[in-house]
Amino acid sequence: MKTGILFLLSCLITPTLFSQIVDTALINKGNKFAFSIHEESQDTALIICQDLLQKSKQGKYLRGQGDAYVTMGAIYRNSKDIMQSYACLTKALACRRLLGDSSRVAAVYVNIALTNLKETKYDAAIANVLYAIGLLEADPKGDKMLLGNAYILASNIYDEYLEPTEAYKYAKSSLDTYIKMDETECIAQAAYALANRCLAMNQLDSAMSYYNLAFNNFIISSNDPDYLANIYINKALIYKAKGNLNEASKLFQQAEETLKQIGENADYYPLYLNVGELFIKQDKLIEGLAYLNKAQQLNNELSHLDQQYLYEHLAYAYNRLNKSDSAFYYLEKVYKIRDTIYNENKRKEFVKFQTERYKKETLMADAKVQTQESRMRLLLITAILLSMVIGVIVYASRQRKRAFQLITAQKENLHKQAVDELIQSSELKYLNAGLEGQEIEKDNIAREIHDRLGSAMVTLTWQYDAVLENLPQDSPNFQSMLKLNAALKNLYQDIRHIAHQLGSGVLERVGLVPVLQELCQDINSTNKMEVDFSAYGMEQRLGFYQEVNLLRIVQELISNVLKYAKASQLLVQIDRMDDTINMMIEDDGVGFDPKQINGHGVGLKNVEGRVRALNGTIQFEQRPTKGTTVIINIPIEETKQNEQLT
């Protein structure tokens, strides 16, 4: 390897070689060599590319320039210099477009998508890779190998993007492409990816079929022990899901023997984790716990799902062994990771939502600009025609009359505005005082419920747990005690939920967004309605007065939906845009008549009162039989001022 590098460098740096003619074959060979070593020797590859780029520019050799820029873009991406990567890939795109080679242009878009993924910009990544796929599919002579690779990349992005159907579709397209090319190793990799997609969607028979296809092709092509070990493990998981634990155990043993062939670089984590879980399922708790501890000691860079899976089984095993402290320790880790996973998934879903909303808003803004321009032209033409028709005397007379009317109207408006401001100021002071008193009273009640009644319920459930642990399962009272224990735990959760609904102490400690998340999770856990919560730009806390009012508004609106809307789905979204808080609560229920708000409905009047107290606006969008959307806008600066005044 070192000899090859030195030879290429000596050839490329020699000035006389390019003094008259550019050797395009040598440039192409140099670019391929630089790309082949760029992951292992980035600095050397970068030196080669820069020299090749200079020579290609001297000879006006576009292909050499494009290839050098692409390789440099990959090098900067791997070194996490994202801006340089984008700069090089943009220049590569310009060179290859001039060549008119759609396959090479598509390759640049694939590289741009890979750079997008380094920043977790999934919307941009999927847009670029789909554009590359479109170019390759439209060209009958396009690079089929690149097309298969692009399909696999699209599948991986959609899998990360929480779109399992699209992920499966592109993995299947990749496999079909490689089968037509009769590329054995590529078939194996695509079949393995497709099997993973099927396993994620719980299509066990299809997953087993594709794992077998991948296994056979790996044996024929490369006999890659890393892939083979993973196939053994995943097939064992399928047998375990079907209840065939003996066959699963055999496959885990084959996976372990295969990993031994790799040596010290082998990744034993999936094996240890799943073997430990298998032993626990067979009530071999000590053996299972030993394997789980082995998995934990590997200190791999695990995904949050893998961490959750490991800690859940550790907590379960320690609980079965009556080691409560260890069980609670890992159970706390499970809850923290679940919150992290929930926030990550919502962030990904919010990225998709924001992207679609941005597109719609852009179209609406363009249409609005065009409409305004048309109106301005029409007004200008009208003004010119009027100026030609109206005489000077008539115009002057009307102007004097209009001036008199305007002065009169302004006086009346000023008087009315002063009266309205005085009334509104009095109403706000009265409303703020009432709301503040209500919050103090609710907080006191919530503290009594949580501290006294909640503590008593926790102690009672612990006592029942102790009784159940010492009570034989064949005892005639075991099932009754078990049901009573479950009822007590549900009652404790209800007490905790009521305390959180009433109290503002938790809100003051953790902030608005975590409290709203917990509120939505509690509703989801009742299976009465599916609630989807998202927040954007809410990293900075608001004032406590503002957060309390926003929480009560959301609670009241959700309560109305649960009572009257007959809805199955609810969206709760809160965004901070510059100096404005925007909230949207949308359900798919039966809808209602907004005119009824003025007639009756204390809850909705309270909502409107809190919105007015925050100097905000509220809008109800009613869709008969399709649900209701409530949109609330709160100005942050004005709200802070009101908080200080009160």
What is the edge-to-edge ordering of all strands in the sheet holding 617-623?
A: 530-536, 569-577, 580-587, 627-635, 617-623
pLDDT class of 240 with cuts at 50, 70, 90: confident
What pLDDT score does 18 carry?
A: 40
In this predicted model, what pLDDT tens digit does every residue of 421-462 receive, in sequence order?
444 444 444 445 455 555 556 666 665 665 566 556 656 766
What pLDDT score does 417 carry?
A: 60
CB 350 within 8 A of CB 537: no
- The CA distances from residue 213 to 250, 289, 631, in Å, are 20, 34, 53
What pLDDT score does 89 carry?
A: 92
Q: Which two tokens stand for residue 62?
A: 């576009």
In this predicted model, what pLDDT tens digit does every residue of 77-104 receive, in sequence order?
888 889 999 999 999 889 988 888 888 8
What pLDDT score does 642 carry?
A: 42
- The residue among 426 and 296 whose pLDDT is bigger is 296
Nearest alpha-carbon partner for 64 in 51, 74, 45:
51
What pLDDT score does 455 carry?
A: 58
Q: How far apart are CA 351 and CA 344, in angstroms?
A: 11
What pLDDT score does 602 carry?
A: 65
pLDDT surpassing 90 at residue 110: yes
Q: Give me the DSSP letters along 318-346.
A: HHHTT-HHHHHHHHHHHHHHHHHHHHHHH
What pLDDT score does 366 carry?
A: 57
Q: Which residues are CB-neighbours of 41 under 8 A, at least 6 positions away?
A: 5
Q: Which residues are CB-neighbours of 477 under 8 A, at least 6 positions away?
A: 471
**Per-range mean pLDDT, top range of 21-25, 170-174, 492-496, 527-531:** 170-174
Q: Which two tokens stand for residue 403?
A: 């001036």
569 pairs with which residues across the strands?
530
- Percentage of the chain exceeding pLDDT 70: 70
pLDDT surpassing 80 at residue 384: no
Neighbours of 404 (CB within 10 A): 10
**If residue 29 lies in a helix (H) or strand (E), which one and from where to where?**
helix 24-37
pLDDT surpassing 90 at residue 621: no
- The residue among 599 and 141 whose pLDDT is bigger is 141
Q: Which residues are CB-neighbours of 575 under 8 A, at least 6 positions away?
A: 535, 536, 537, 538, 581, 582, 583
> Is residue 362 classed as helix, strand or coil in its secondary structure?
helix
> Is residue 574 classed as helix, strand or coil in its secondary structure?
strand
In this predicted model, what pLDDT tens digit does every residue of 534-558 receive, in sequence order?
998 888 888 877 888 888 899 888 8
CB 53 within 8 A of CB 65: yes
**Burial environment of residue 566 by CB neighbours within 10 A (0 to 12, 13 to 18, 19 or more):** middle
- The CA distances from residue 40 to 4, 45, 55, 79, 232, in Å, are 14, 9, 24, 11, 30
> Is residue 531 classed as helix, strand or coil in its secondary structure?
strand
Q: Mean of the pLDDT values across residues 3-8?
A: 47
Q: How far apart are CA 60 and CA 27, in angstroms?
A: 12
620 pairs with which residues across the strands?
630
pLDDT surpassing 60 at residue 188: yes
Q: Which residues are CB-neighbours of 60 under 8 A, at least 6 positions away?
A: none
